[in-house]
Chain A
Amino acid sequence: MDDALERLAVRRNKEALKLYREKDYPGALAVFQQAYKLDPDNPEICNNLAFLYQLLGNYDAAERYYRRTLKLDPDRFVAYLNLVDLLAMQADTPQRLAEASGLLTKARELKGNAPDLILRQARIAVRSGRFEKAERFYNEYFETEVVSDELRVEVGDFYRDFAKYNEALSWYRQVDENGDYGSEAARRIWEIDVEMQARRFGWIKASSEIPAKAQKLVAHGRTLINRNQYVEAEKLLREAIGMAPQFAEAHADLGDILHKTGRAKEAELSYLRALAHDNGNAEFQARLGDLYEEGSLGDHSAEAVLFYEKALQLKPDWASLHIKLAAAQKAIGNFRQALWHIEKYLAQAPEDGDRPRALAMKENIEALWPEKDSDASDDPARYPVATDHALLDTLGRVRALLTRGELDEAMARLARLPDGDQNTEVLNLKARILQSAGRLDEAAAALENSLQIDSAQGDVYTQLGRILMDSGDYENARRRLIFAESLGDENALYHLARLDCLILGSQKLTWLKDWGRLGDLLRARRRLDSYLSQSRETRLIQASHHLKNQINGRLRAVYSQIVALGAVAALAALIWYRRRYGGIDLKTLITRRPESGPDVQRILSAIRHEVLKHNTMALTGLIETIRAGNPAQDKATHIAASLFGRDGKDAIVDKLRDYADRLERVGNAYSQRLNLARRDEGLAAIFKGFGILEKWAGDFNRIDTLKPARREKFLYAVEEATSLMNTHGYEAVRALLDQLRVLDVDEDILRGIHRKTMREPAFKGADFSDPVIDISAREPRGILMPRQVFEDVASNLTRNAAAASLKDGLKTVHIAFEVKDDLDDITGVERIALIVKDRSEQVLDPAMLRDRSVEEGLGLTAALVARYDGIIEVVPGEEPWTKGIAVKLPRAPMAETVSENA
């Protein structure tokens, strides 16, 4: 930032302050804005700008600039005060009041006990409904500052709102009657007098004080509450409160809604406001007690006890309050008092109602508190501690102070108790205070002392376990909690569950850690189920449900992962299994896809010729030589070179792998996955044989120097490999070659082909004579060609004959099929020749066949025939036939053929 700009900004700030002092607020705001633009990092300018915004009613902007000021200068005291005032002015949520309170604490750290701060703390406490705290801050302020009439009215109002009418009157009466606030104070004195008179005579507060409309709104609101229409009801009640802020019932009903909708903090404030306006209402006292006892604000059972007791004082015949009080007393460890209230309840309450609950609670307490006087009566004096009302009063106050966070005061009160009163209740309470103050070691020591006095305090063991857990001493915490569980403290179940599912260290990868803690999580869930089924108290139940949901979520995550991983593992296993053991053999391939036969046959022939052919002779020759005791090194080296290659080249084993790859590619071409090494009888034996030889490859080159035992093993291995390759493998390959599908050419097939051709659309309307069929070939007339391929070939020839006949203008299509033997003199190969004859003048020659003349319909016929080692040629016709096309296909071997005709 340029110095000149900074200086200019400071000058503008001064000009704006001058305008402010002259009360030209809009002008001051404009110039503060200019100054801020020149130097936005100047905290003084920023604070001044915020203040002007606040002054002119733009609270959002004001709040924004105050927060920025504190960011620029965290020690700027005045900004704290300004922001506190703003938050208090717009304290529409408890959070804003809490923030204001926090800011004041921070400001006190900066500035010490400045009166301004203390007064603000008092006012914030008032807004928060904290009577005792507010009173303490006011008193603190009055110790140093002169009190103005304005403040006297304010303090009077404070006491009045909290139903402390005598204190209120005292302050109002200090106001100068002739001063600015004199008439204000006099009016308030009169109102309180009327109120007090009305109460004295048992009058209900004059309804005329509450506008009729507000009363109607509240009445309607209650109707809506009964229908669970809380949102609408809340609107009506807030409207009523806006019209009549002193309308206690409206505050209490609003508290009910807030309580029911989970806004416990706000509910507490509403009940306190209700009590401020009508402190003598037992219902309101009890409702606030219910809120504290329910537990959503934390452990406030001590406060619940206070408010229930007040309610009972106001309405002594309210039997069900005894049972509530008993539960609250039990929760804070006052078993004697709890039992006393249970007895009172049982004495007053009808047979139905909460009697079972009361009896169960009694049983539970008696189990927890074995040293109680068995001679029960309804006289509290039978409980030694309960009779000490001074001690009870002190403990009640200490609990209240503890709840309100006033730890020092609470501790001081406990410390003032005589040594003789340091019993388990005192020690337990002391531990709670120390725990609240974060002094966990001391709290744990206090509880240990308590347990030395009375080791049957299950709830104290639980408390100790909680503290140890907070201290990170999980092992000892678990021990104490398990002990508490064994003593029957149901809350121990909840805390053990918490311990079981505690996430140690980083929150990251919790799911991964949970894998190893599945047992803990399951145990935690069982404990929570047990807790939820046993506990009749509302405390911790919400938290238990929440924890259970969390555990369920984590368990679901683990289970999901287990399922997902299981699925992946199963899939991987399946893939692995399919890759290893799946797939088919060559025989299945040929059976399923006969058209793959020629390719398979060619490759198998190559394997036989190039891989197997010479090995048997060589390997058996080697075995003979060794067995005869003759030098065999030359032979063995020769075989090794042949099998495994010379300098890594020309290895027969590589050729085998190459042919196996080719076979697999053939399978893939027909969408079939082969597993030659495992599924195919022939190839698997050959692979296995080669595998054995490869294992012994080293010994081939030192055969003459091998020790006799080793040589014997070598011979055994070579014999086994030879047998596998050249007996099992070779025989299986040969058998497979024999099993290629065979078709018997007979009259039915030929007639079928002729019939099918006649029905083709191209020959619609054409006149066909019966085919002439002449079969002279000897039986069986098996050919190595799948039926479908043969039909394609024969149909093409028939179609060509018919098309040529019609093209020549013949009125009737005459076709003849001749099947005869054919022998190749040179190769000795026997074939079956199928000759399709017609009477057209069409001229065909081999070149036309090779060119795959489409017109003649011979398209792929020649290629198909060649693929099956067949021959196709044009033959001259004999009257009345003009020509014929002959297809000569090798006869199938006689043995082990599979006919397709069946």
Chain B
Amino acid sequence: MISSDKTILIIEDGDEYLDNLSRFVEGPRYLQAKSGKQALEILREREVDLIYLDMRFDRIPLSDLLGDHDKAARERGGDEQAAWKHLQINQGLFILHELKKSGFEKIPVILAYDFSREERRLANLQKQYPRLRWAPDAVTAEAIRAMIEDADSAQ
């Protein structure tokens, strides 16, 4: 059982992580933010021990997405749709970037993304955000629990 006084902020575009973690990884107190902006607001107001961050955000309004849409569009030959898609698919990383910019880089983050084949990419990201961990999509409750505890002890 994980210590019940820990607070985990789940940042996701749905409710799946909140539902599953609160049911299957019992113990911590879970908070939820459905966008990067909302997450920053919570972090500014509440003490959070760990962030559980989803990667893909395609169920929130486009206006709530973080990231430079214009730049993304420029890089894609001006294709705005492709630019939005880019922001949605990588929203977890844009949020991570914003967390760092806002001074929250010390909070451990578990990113729900499979980096097992992209070690260099993970390494690039960890250069900027050393407390970044990741959880593959198909992860057991036990593995998450272990990661939370690991992040907790590393803190």
Q: Which residues of A pack against B, CB within 8 Å?
A: 608-609, 612-618, 620-622, 624-625, 634-635, 638, 642, 725-727, 730, 734, 737-738, 823, 825-830, 846-847, 849-850, 862-863, 865-866, 871-873, 888, 891, 893-896
Contacts and interface: CB of A to CB of B under 8 A. Distances in A.
B25 A862 contact: no
Contacts of B136: 730
A71 B4 CA distance: 113
A277 B131 CA distance: 134
A891 B76 CA distance: 17
A-B complex: 6 closest residue pairs judged by Cβ atoms: A621-B24, A850-B78, A862-B77, A621-B141, A871-B75, A620-B140
Given A618-B20, A827-B93, A849-B77, A727 B120 contact: no
17 contacts: A612-B138, A614-B16, A617-B25, A618-B20, A618-B23, A620-B24, A620-B142, A621-B24, A826-B93, A828-B128, A830-B121, A865-B77, A871-B75, A873-B77, A888-B75, A891-B120, A893-B118
A45 to B, nearest CB: 97
Given A738-B117, A830-B124, A847-B78, A730 B137 contact: yes
Nearest to A851: B78
A725 B118 CA distance: 23
A188 B124 CA distance: 140
Interface residues of B, number: 42
Contacts of A827: 90, 93, 121
Nearest to B56: A609
Contact of A734 (B23, B97, B114): B114
Nearest to B82: A866
A617 B93 contact: no
B79 interface: yes
A846 B77 contact: yes
Given A621-B25, A823-B124, A873 B74 contact: yes
A894 B124 contact: no
A734 B20 contact: no
A642 B17 CA distance: 12
Given A826-B97, A830-B121, A862 B90 contact: no
Nearest to A865: B77
A850 B82 CA distance: 12
Q: Which of B112, B119, B136, B140 has the most CB of A within 10 A?
A: B140
A730 B93 CA distance: 23
B40 interface: no
Given A622-B24, A828-B93, A849-B77, A613 B137 contact: yes
Contacts of A612: 137-138
Interface in B117-155: 117-122, 124-125, 128, 136-142, 144
Given A617-B141, A730-B138, 7 more contacts: A613-B16, A616-B138, A642-B16, A726-B138, A734-B114, A866-B82, A872-B77
Contacts of B94: 826
Contacts of B124: 823, 828, 830
Contacts of A863: 77
A556 to B, nearest CB: 64
Interface of B: 16-17, 19-21, 23-25, 56, 67, 73-79, 82, 90, 93-94, 97, 112, 114, 116-122, 124-125, 128, 136-142, 144
Contact of B137 (A608, A872, A888): A608
B75 A620 contact: no
B39 to A, nearest CB: 16
B117 A850 contact: no
Given A727-B138, A738-B117, A871 B23 contact: no
Contacts of A734: 114, 116-117
B24 A617 contact: yes
A850 B119 CA distance: 33
B76 A872 contact: yes
A100 B114 CA distance: 105
Contacts of B120: 830, 891, 894
Given A613-B112, A614-B16, A828 B122 contact: yes
A14 to B, nearest CB: 106
A878 to B, nearest CB: 21
B79 A617 contact: no
A336 B113 CA distance: 111
Contacts of A846: 73-74, 77-78
Contacts of B16: 613-614, 642
A614 B20 contact: yes
A20 to B, nearest CB: 107
B82 to A, nearest CB: 5
Q: Which of B121, B128, B138 has the most CB of A within 10 A?
A: B138
A626 to B, nearest CB: 12
Contacts of A726: 138
Nearest to A895: B117
A609 B76 contact: no
Contacts of B79: 850, 862, 866
Given A830-B120, A830-B124, A613 B138 contact: yes
Given A614-B16, A828-B124, A894-B120, A849 B140 contact: no
A244 B16 CA distance: 118
A894 B76 CA distance: 25
Contacts of B144: 617
Contacts of A825: 97, 128
A722 to B, nearest CB: 9
A217 B80 CA distance: 108
A873 B76 CA distance: 8
Contacts of A894: 117, 119-120
A740 to B, nearest CB: 11
A620 B93 CA distance: 28
B113 to A, nearest CB: 10
Contacts of A830: 120-121, 124
A853 to B, nearest CB: 11
A728 to B, nearest CB: 10
Q: Which of B67, B122, B137 has the most CB of A within 10 A?
A: B137
B121 A829 contact: yes
Contacts of A613: 16, 112, 137-138
Contact of A620 (B19, B114, B141): B141
A826 B24 contact: no
Nearest to B115: A828
Q: Which of B24, B90, B139, B142 has the most CB of A within 10 A?
A: B24
Contact of A624 (B114, B137, B142): B142
A828 B17 CA distance: 24
A865 B82 CA distance: 11
A726 B94 CA distance: 28
A866 B141 contact: no
A638 B16 CA distance: 11
B5 to A, nearest CB: 22
Contacts of A872: 75-77
Nearest to A893: B117
A828 B76 CA distance: 18
B3 to A, nearest CB: 19
A325 B76 CA distance: 111
Contacts of B139: 616-617
Contacts of B121: 827-830
B75 A617 contact: no
Contacts of B23: 618, 621, 634-635, 638
A895 B121 CA distance: 13
A634 B73 CA distance: 46
Contacts of B114: 608, 734
Contacts of B118: 893
Contacts of A849: 77-78
A638 B22 CA distance: 12
B24 A618 contact: yes
A620 B138 CA distance: 10
A894 B119 CA distance: 8
B137 to A, nearest CB: 4
A618 B142 CA distance: 11
